[in-house]
Amino acid sequence: MIALLALAAILPQQVFIATPRGLAAVPVSTERGIAAVAAARLMGPLGLVTSLEGTSVRVVVGGRTFDFDLGAPFVRIGDAAYPLVGAPYVARDTLFLPLHWLADFVPRLSSGRYRWDAVRARLEETPAVAALPAVPASSTLTVGTANAITGLRLPHTIVVDPGHGGIDPGNPGQTFPGHLAEKDVTLSIGRLLRAELMRRGLNVVLTRATDTLIALADRPTFCRAECDLFVSIHVNSMPKGPRQGRASGVETYFVSDAKTEDQKRVSQMENDAMRFDTRAPGDGPLAFILNDLQLNEYLRESARLADLVQGRVASIHPGGDRGVQQGPFLVLAAARRPAVLVEAGFATHSGDGAFLTSALGQRKIVNAIADGIVTYLLEFERKLAVGGSGR
């Protein structure tokens, strides 16, 4: 929660609406813990039309109709409902709409009329362009029958990211047999996790399926339209010293500022793969991404996902429970979805090393991560259903 406050401090105070008719500044309110804008402030610059009936809100902008329910974190477009990172609300007789809707759904469904510039926090109206078909969001709420294994009713896509690869071995796997390094174990667990999630009816994208290097900055790009959450798999290690052979167990990270020396060590270790990135630094500096308006909304979801995954894996891990941790991981910050990084155990601990490289150990880790993901998604679907019943 300290992290949320710290990030709220760097949220822009306002967003801009740039149209051929001029530039309007619209204040951003965070009074309800989400970034929101007053609908009335969008009427002039966007020609927004709103109507409020009971708890039902209808908003028409750019020829598109968006339906909301007060207090429900989703937006309906035609017959489909899409999750939002926050709910619309009324305060001081003013209707507030989530900034997520303005920054994401308005441009996406505007057939090219609007684009969102996240760096400048600016919604820009472009001169008339040829009409493009609207791109549907990933989590369309077409309520089907529950999946027999998971109980999930919606399609979900998970991006699984096996850490390191190719010329970047990750840590050398001191206690691993043979020449195995971190990159081999993360790949093995990642592929097993894909198979297990697919067996449970989920869609899975692997950032790498072979021993190849994917630049850190490119990994989150696998998590775009068709992605509900991002899970990066890594193996921990302790530097030389009295603690080297003693530290053991699993920890799960979500992105924020590091608070402890251990958190700094792990995030520096994993961000270090940047040195294999041949592009100029500055392509995606963390500070730049942390400014993103939506990040602190995803933080809360990431913290919950981390909690569920950590709880499941810790319950089967012989090395013990090191808890949910926070760190400034580049690979998580850019995912723009709930994102966690699992440090599945210590390559510098002989017990963890044996567990991580055994078929049974990997199977247990994978089942536990999959359990955590499914529990998270069930919670997520329940939240949508609660919103849907508010009509």
Q: In the complex, which residues of this chain contact Zn ion (CB under 5 A)?
A: 163, 170, 234, 270
Give 152 or 313: the residue with its C-beta nearer to Zn ion: 313
Residue nearest to Zn ion (CB): 234
Half-sphere exposure of 390 (CA within 13 A, CB side): 24
- Residue (of 60, 7, 64, 12) closest to 36 by Cα position: 12
* Tokens 């040829």 belong to residue: 130
**What is the nearest approach in angstroms of Zn ion to the Cβ of residue 164?**
5
Q: Considering the complex, what minimum distance in angstroms separates the CB of residue 341 from Zn ion?
A: 8
Q: Which residue number, 154 or 273, has a Cβ lying nearer to Zn ion?
A: 273
CB of 127 to Zn ion, least distance (A): 46
Residue 11, C-beta contacts closer than 8 angstroms, at least 6 positions apart: 28, 30, 35, 293, 296
Question: What gap in Å lies between CA 354 and CA 361, rounded to an integer?
Answer: 8
Name the residue among 228, 192, 221, 190 with its Cα closest to residue 206.
Answer: 190
* DSSP assignment of 187-240: HHHHHHHHHHHHHTT-EEEES-SSS----GGGGGGGSSTT-SEEEEEEEE---S
Give the shortest CB-285-to-Zn ion separation in angstroms.
20
Shortest distance (Å) from residue 336 CB to Zn ion: 21
The amino acid that residue 78 corresponds to is G
Q: How far is the CB of 368 from Zn ion (least distance, A)?
A: 19
In the complex, the smallest distance separating the C-beta of residue 132 from Zn ion, rounded to whole angstroms, is 40
User: Nearer Cβ to Zn ion, position 270 or 297?
Assistant: 270
Count of all residues that appear for the chain in the document: 391
Q: Which of 200, 214, 255 is nearest to 367 (CA)?
A: 200
Compare residues 139 and 171 and give the one whose CB is closer to Zn ion: 171
| For Zn ion, the closer CB: 104 or 270 | 270
**Quick one: 82 or 230, whose CB is closer to Zn ion?**
230
User: Which CB sits closer to Zn ion, 272 or 283?
Assistant: 272
Task: Return d(Cα 279, Cα 123) in angstroms, integer.
Answer: 29
